[in-house]
Amino acid sequence: MIDAQPDTLLGRRNRALLAIGWGAAPRGHELEMLDVAPGDGHGLVEVRDDGVIVTLRRSKTNLGARGLEDYGIPARPRVLRHCPVELAWAWLAAIGHASGPFFRSIGGAAAVHPKRLPRQNIRRVVKEGARAIGLDPGALGGHSLRADCLTWLFLQGVDPLHIQSHSGHAAPRALLA
């Protein structure tokens, strides 16, 4: 899906969104509420040489913002076109913003809006990406990035308790359902 994105501003945003949405496995509203720097959102994206850190101040299992939840996505320097660090830097360079929402809406003349990319647009990015690679877009949605990441971790033999810690599921039964 990353490879199917156009070489445009929209494509840069979508590549970063797909990489971070899959790698950190946040819920749709958590992905929507990520900021470039601490702001009014529920989380923060920090891009470093060794990876991307997604920090959630508020989540489904932490509604009162009692603590921080960090999710690391390692860099993939051998596969730069899929490297979350490279994709996030390309998006940040394209928008030229050091604060505010990380994922933003893009208007008609390739103008970046200051407002957050709504969840329904995140869902649209996933569905259009699926269509572009020959998958049934009706079978996928915004939650697919999260579900596919957790499934992939399970298939790689990662301990379900570690996956549960990464996903923020309250109980193993909820994770395996």
The pLDDT score that the predictor gives to residue 2 is 95
Residue 68: the pLDDT is 57
The radius of gyration of the chain's CA atoms, rounded to the nearest angstrom, is: 15
pLDDT at 86: 96
Residue whose C-alpha is closest to residue 123's, from 108, 109, 107, 103: 103
Backbone angles phi, psi at 40, to 5 degrees: -90, 0
Q: How is residue 111 annotated by DSSP?
A: P
For residue 17, the model assigns a pLDDT of: 94
State the Cα–Cα distance between residues 139 and 174, nearest whole angstrom: 21
Element (H, E) at 83: none
- Dist CA 137 CA 132 (whole Å): 9
Domains in the chain and their CATH numbers? 9-176 (1.10.443.10)
- CA separation, residue 39 to residues 36, 62, 100, 165 (Å): 8, 18, 6, 25
pLDDT in 10s for each residue of the chain, 177 residues: 999 999 999 999 999 999 999 888 887 788 888 988 876 667 889 999 999 998 886 555 555 545 457 778 999 999 999 999 999 999 999 888 778 899 999 987 778 888 889 989 999 999 999 999 999 999 887 778 888 888 888 889 988 887 777 676 767 666 666
Q: What is the DSSP string of 24-60?
A: H---HHHHHTEESSSSSSSEEEEEETTEEEEEESSBT
